[in-house]
Amino acid sequence: MTVLLEAKNLHITFGAVKAANGVDLHIDEGEFLAIIGPNGSGKTTFLNLCTGYIRPSEGEVYLDGKPITRLPPRTIARKGIARAFQIPQLFLDQTVLTNLMLAIASREGLWQVGKALGRPAYRDEAMALLAMFNLADCAPTLASTLPEGRRKLVDIAIALALKPRLVLLDEPTSGVSALERFALMETLMGALRQAKVSALFVEHDMDVVERYADRVVVWEAGRVMAEGKPEAVFKDARVIENVIGVA
């Protein structure tokens, strides 16, 4: 296995809260890694540390063995780490197709909207991305009118428009009904496999983690308290007591 991303001894404190208190974690190429843990344990902080949104007071994050810790978010994104958020970051007054085309244009450094939207190559690439997520029929739909599950998928399709090697997903199934979660995950995992992208996803639904994660990392008070295959981790008494029992 080749290590893609590695965090070593990350620390960050907000006031009295140690949101990262010695985080050590790696993700292998091709891996789907889930992060679980109680509210406020520092999961989102870790995503922020990996993407340059905040900087640790101590420790390093490495991509392909090279430190990225102090690079600006745009540079880190260009190096291959993309992010999708708990609340999708779409232009709600634009169509799904326009959202995708603008993401592709920004990757290419083309900031003139009129020119970007006139490029057939961008349109073709956007439609191919949407097809990967079974969303081709949504291309002309206004983003504001999409149901939550589809909006999340469009947001992830936009993250893939950056051609990342690793995508960080903050609660991909939140706000989606229990019935729809597996369908959303099937589509999402299918698209990630097709794009050969590794994923790290924060998730509160243990059924989703058990079914879709290759490995799970358990967060507690700013650090990793357990990790391993979901079936093994979910039998760990400490995890049951501190995380699953309180989820």
The residue ranges that bind ligand ATP (CB under 6 A) are: 14, 17, 19, 37, 39-45
Nearest CB to ligand ATP, comparing residues 21 and 141: 21
| Rounded least distance, CB 116 to ligand ATP, Å | 33
| Rounded least distance, CB 55 to ligand ATP, Å | 12
Nearest CB to ligand ATP, comparing residues 164 and 222: 222
| Rounded least distance, CB 19 to ligand ATP, Å | 4
| Rounded least distance, CB 119 to ligand ATP, Å | 38
Nearest CB to ligand ATP, comparing residues 163 and 238: 238
CB 198 within 8 A of CB 165: yes
Nearest CB to ligand ATP, comparing residues 25 and 157: 25
